[in-house]
Amino acid sequence: MCVALPGLAISTGQGQLTGRGLDGFYRAGRRVLSRCQVRVAGRQPLAVQARMTAADCARFVGTLRASPQAGPDPDVLVERTRRADGSERITLRSAAVRPLWVPVEVALGTDLADLGAIASGNPGPELPATVHDSGLRWSCAKGSSTVTADPPPADALASAGLLRWEFALPPGGSASIELRVRLDGAGPVRAVGRAATSPLASALASARASGDEPAAEALLRTSIEDLQALLLRDPAHPSDTHLAAGVPWRCGPAPADALAAARMTLSLGTRLAAGTLRALARTQLRGRGPQSGMIPGPLRDAGTHLPPSCTGTEATLLFPALLAEARRWGLPQPDTEELLPAAERCLTWLRTTVGDGTCLRDPHPGGPVRCETQAHAHRAALLGADLLDACGRPGGAGLREWAGAMRTAFRADLWIDDVGGGRPAAARAPDGRLVPHLGAAAVHLLDTGLLGGGEQAPGLLDKVQTEQLARLLGAPAMDSGWGLRGLGAKEAGYNPFGHRSGAVRVHATALAVAGLAAADYEKEASALLRGVLAAAAAFGHRLPEMYAGEQRTDGSAPLPHPAACRPAATSAAAGVLLLTTLAGIRPDAPGRTVTMRPMRSAPLGEIVLTGLRVAGAPFSIRVSRLGLAMVEEAADGLQLRA
């Protein structure tokens, strides 16, 4: 998959676009070209290599024998460089000792189908082509697309969708064809991530992870490239950018995913967080009624034990938490003040919805009290109170008082005691029954958030309960060896490919690593971290949204999930969080301090992180093999706290 939204190109490793499955070039979810098959001297080149050279570019190499005297060795190399912007360069290179006369055919076609129709198996028939300019054109009621070629073809057959050339290749010579596909009426694909104003441009140019583990650099670079490729502009305010959820299924905005990804990448700067918050603030529901103040979002599958959850609730609770933490990382004060009213409306919705209670139920009638929702609500209350106090706004004391009551109630009512040490309940059903299964949603209990002075906010669990949860997350039932399963392998309904019932979700694993490390459970954190890095290597360091929760064994590899987005915003952002967790950076830009809590076990050996951003300035840190941190670059006047 070559990605630079709104452009996208999908093919198999063979390189040919066959028109089957998802093959094709896409623009804003419309397939503008489904078939692009190359034949040289009447034959398909034999595919020998396919690899991504960047998030938006793939290179395919094939060979063939074009002269009868070639023997068993190929004498023509065919290289195809495909980009998400709708361009493909086909280059022929001769290794023959004599001149070659090489005919080339490119068969083209499209159905102009929407991605949703293609995914459901109903793309529609291929459209008839007409000769247009130096290429071909297809039209239907949905629109038109055109392919142009440089150099122009010697022959174009609309009925067969064929463009033809003949090239004279001297010994060692080469020839190239440049194809460009575009949707009529639309300008060239201008990917947000490629613009100089991209909020991640600085990180892509300067962020590096060097040291004893070479996979760290590859993971960081690929993660940032994928985040760049997934950037979208707010149509009404093009200067504000945020992340699409993932490719190919979720190319549009998903509020909870966009906020979560922006939060995990605060170490790369606060501009992505600011753009995301501004874009979502415009969607916030206003007026009167129980939903006033919410950030709307779709329902999300919650596995076999619970009904779908409301991502709008999650987004509404993430909004003030992200704003508060972005301020600690260095979000400029004018941006904070601009976004503060929207955060206050989120917090007002929380207090109004909870009323006199100590828990936050699902918004639909008769909904359960979910463990992860309580974690989001508790963090929003504490970080929101911190934000309100810092900005001189009322309401902080009330939020802290409610959060304290919630902690007491949670520890008594949503913790299941048993002979094994207990576990958090996944939820409390409307009839009061506790849902006991253990899943990755419990990691949100460890993700407490950042307050001033480098302090972590208190969590819903006490010390003994936190230790027990750490033990459970590190046990083989949850740790697959490749990352954290969505549901424990011993739980009823476990399915290694289940979206929320057994598959490894990279986002949840990264939160577990960060939360366990912050709580000083480094053994469990290190095991999960090394597992995900091993999986990343198997996926070419482009981590998918999820993969199968099959147990890792000697010589095995993680099994891809057929429905996973790759790249996905949360998994790409998780790659950044996994590496920065090693350094334990806890900034307080308003207080002009930064606290370092590196992982003392140094699970990847020495690591040097450069090109990060704290307080609006470059920040670099070295963590030694002994787990000691040394800041090598920081903003002027920023004081280091042990």
Is residue 611 within 8 A of residue 208, CB to CB? The reply is yes
Q: Is the pLDDT of residue 188 over 70?
A: no
Same domain membership, residue 379 and residue 245: yes
Is residue 49 within 8 A of residue 60, CB to CB? The reply is yes
CATH of the domain at 311: 1.50.10.10
**Averaged over 426-449, what is the pLDDT?**
96
253 band by pLDDT with thresholds 50, 70 and 90: confident
Is residue 65 within 8 A of residue 200, CB to CB? The reply is no
| Among candidate residues 151, 184, 217, the one where a domain is terminated | 184
Identify the weakest region by mean pLDDT among 181-190, 401-410, 626-635: 181-190
Same domain membership, residue 232 and residue 164: no
Q: Say which DSSP state 73 is in.
A: S
Instruction: Give the pLDDT score at 70.
Output: 61
Q: Is residue 417 part of a domain?
A: yes
Q: Is the pLDDT of residue 26 over 90?
A: yes
Q: In the structure encoding, which two tokens stand for residue 248, read together?
A: 């190919």
**Averaged over 20-28, what is the pLDDT?**
94
408 band by pLDDT with thresholds 50, 70 and 90: very high
Q: Is residue 73 part of a domain?
A: yes
Identify the weakest region by mean pLDDT among 305-309, 314-318, 383-387, 577-581: 305-309
Q: In sequence order, what are the residues at sequence separation of 6 or more whose Cβ sits closer than 8 angstroms to the Cβ of residue 424?
A: 371, 414, 415, 416, 438, 442, 445, 461, 465, 469
How many domains does one find in the chain?
2
Cis amide leading into 151 (omega within 30) = yes
Chain CA centroid to CA 521, Å: 26
Same domain membership, residue 435 and residue 345: yes
Secondary structure of residue 614 in the 3-state scheme = strand
CA 124/CA 389 separation, integer angstroms? 58
Q: Is the pLDDT of residue 9 over 90?
A: yes
Instruction: Give the pLDDT score at 401.
Output: 97
Structural domain boundaries, residue 49: 2-184
If we measure between CA atoms, which residue out of 521, 536, 369 comes closest to residue 443?
521
Same domain membership, residue 424 and residue 370: yes
Same domain membership, residue 266 and residue 122: no
Sign of CA pseudo-dihedral 367, 368, 371, 374: positive
Q: In the structure encoding, which two tokens stand for residue 13, read together?
A: 């490793």
Same domain membership, residue 540 and residue 597: yes
Q: Is residue 60 part of a domain?
A: yes
CA 603/CA 274 separation, integer angstroms? 33
Sequence letter at residue 83:
R
| Among candidate residues 159, 184, 209, the one where a domain is terminated | 184
If we measure between CA atoms, which residue out of 43, 81, 83, 82 comes closest to residue 63?
43
**DSSP secondary structure string for all residues of 136-150:** EEEEETTEEEEEEEE
pLDDT tens, residue by residue, 31-60: 999 999 999 999 999 999 999 999 999 999
| Among candidate residues 157, 184, 211, the one where a domain is terminated | 184
Same domain membership, residue 312 and residue 171: no
Same domain membership, residue 41 and residue 10: yes
pLDDT tens, residue by residue, 540-575: 999 999 999 999 999 999 999 999 999 999 999 999
Parallel, antiparallel, or unpaired: how do β-strands 639-641 and 593-596 relate? Answer: parallel
Q: Is the pLDDT of residue 190 over 70?
A: no
pLDDT tens, residue by residue, 339-393: 999 999 999 999 999 999 999 999 877 789 999 999 999 999 999 999 999 999 9
Same domain membership, residue 203 and residue 129: no
CA distances from 576 to 230, 389, 481 (A): 15, 30, 20
CATH of the domain at 39: 2.70.98.40
Strand order in the sheet with 57-64: 46-54, 57-64, 76-83, 87-94, 174-183, 143-150, 135-140, 129-132
Q: Is residue 452 part of a domain?
A: yes
SS in 3 state form for 328-366? HHCCCHHHHHHHHHHHHHHHHHHHHHHCCCCCCCCCCCC
Is residue 400 within 8 A of residue 386, CB to CB? The reply is no
Same domain membership, residue 87 and residue 215: no
Same domain membership, residue 519 and residue 378: yes
If we measure between CA atoms, which residue out of 344, 376, 347 comes closest to residue 362?
376
Q: Is the pLDDT of residue 184 over 90?
A: no
Q: Is residue 642 part of a domain?
A: no
Mean pLDDT, the chain, integer = 95
Same domain membership, residue 564 and residue 621: yes
Sequence letter at residue 245:
A
Q: Is the pLDDT of residue 187 over 70?
A: no
Q: Is residue 561 part of a domain?
A: yes
**Averaged over 116-135, what is the pLDDT?**
92
Q: Is residue 194 part of a domain?
A: no
Q: Is residue 564 part of a domain?
A: yes
Is residue 71 within 8 A of residue 51, CB to CB? The reply is no
User: pLDDT over 70 for what percent of the chain?
Assistant: 98
Q: Is the pLDDT of residue 334 over 80?
A: yes
